[in-house]
Amino acid sequence: MLLLGAGDLRIDLPRLAAELTEALRAGAEPGQRVRAAVTPDVTAMVLMPGLSPGIPAYTVKVHAKNPARSPAITGVICLHDLSGDLLAIIDSPRLTAVRTGLGGALGAHLLARPEARTVTVIGAGVQGRAQLEALTALRPVESVCVRDVDPVAERDFLAWAAGLGVPAGPEGEIVLMATWSRVPVLHEVPPGTHVTSLGADEPGKAELGADLLASALVVVDDPALAHVAAGTTIGAVLRGEHPGRTSAEEVTVYSPAGLPMQDLVIAWHVYRNALS
């Protein structure tokens, strides 16, 4: 059995993007996502089992969320072979950030206009950074605009983005959101905009106004877990069962909840890298 801490995790982002795309295309049982409040601030969650065709393993993830702490998510991913033997225990905060950010960026890349190159990030935290970094691995990004309740966080984000080769710019054609908001913070976008909203992943959390959602094509990862009314799923778009964006003027929204299968894909990725 391997014990993999944050410093042991080797991630090849382009290869992981291809692996996650194929897993989403293949589809998988959503598994269970069990959530319980511990205190008014802290949430305990278990995601299990992470299963995906072609991967001879499964995952059980146990983590806690506390937006008042950094990192806000702490926990472990247990990787088992299909007989139940434990292959690895993996520190989960970085894996969760990468897989969630990459999942959001994949939705943006799939649904945004092919020529869209400018980005607005709302929420200058770990997930905002993870989404932008993942998107730069999928398509050219010419500039980024960031919005956060903390001006210092905005400045730090822009300095970090400049290190990625993404300078500050005007409001973008792609909007990447990752907030803890419980009231809508975005109500209107120009025609043709794509919005990925990661913050509406639990009951009571909301990022997008009802009018925006009603006028957009809304795509989710799992309708049973989604906290918005969906037009289709990302798997259906990847398989060609739904066309996705149908015009340059259409507004698209991707609002994933996060699937146990995604934990398996990234856990298997770092496990194989650790063995090589």
pLDDT at 180: 87
Average pLDDT estimate for 268-274: 98
Distance CA(58)–CA(78), nearest Å, equals 8
Would strands 2-4 and 32-37 be described as parallel, antiparallel, or unpaired? unpaired
Ranges 21-30, 74-83, 167-176, 205-214: which has the least confidence: 21-30
Q: How much of the chain, in percent, has pLDDT values that exceed 70?
A: 100
Residue 82's Cβ-count burial label (10 Å; 0-12, 13-18, 19+) is exposed
Q: Where are the domains of the chain?
A: 2-96+260-275, 100-254
The reported pLDDT for the residue numbered 227 is 77
DSSP conformation letters of 209-229: -HHHHHHSEEEES-TTT-SS-
Q: Is the pLDDT of residue 250 over 80?
A: yes
> Selecting from 1.20.1050.10, 3.40.50.720, 3.40.50.620, 1.10.3370.10, what CATH number does the domain 100-254 have?
3.40.50.720
pLDDT value, residue 228:
84
**Strand, helix or coil for residue 232:** strand
- What local confidence, expressed as pLDDT, does residue 202 receive? 74
Average pLDDT, stretch 175-203?
93
Quick check: 76 and 138 in contact, CB under 8 A?
Answer: no
Calpha distance 74→65 (Å, rounded): 7
pLDDT of residue 203: 76
CATH label, 2-96+260-275, candidates 3.30.1780.10, 3.40.30.10, 3.10.28.10, 3.30.1330.60: 3.30.1780.10
Strand ranges across the sheet with 32-37: 2-4, 86-91, 73-81, 57-65, 43-50, 32-37
Q: Is the pTM of this model over 0.85?
A: yes
Q: Find the mean pLDDT for residues 129-157.
A: 97
How does residue 148 score in pLDDT terms, banded at 50, 70 and 90?
very high
Q: What is the mean pLDDT of residues 208-235?
A: 92
Domains 2-96+260-275 and 100-254 in one fold: no
Kindly report the average pLDDT of the chain as a whole number.
Answer: 95
pLDDT of residue 67: 86
pLDDT for the residue 5: 96
**Model confidence band, residue 235 (pLDDT cutoffs 50, 70, 90):** very high
pLDDT in tens, 14-72: 999 999 999 999 987 778 989 999 998 899 999 999 999 999 999 999 999 998 888 88
pLDDT, residue 201, reads 77
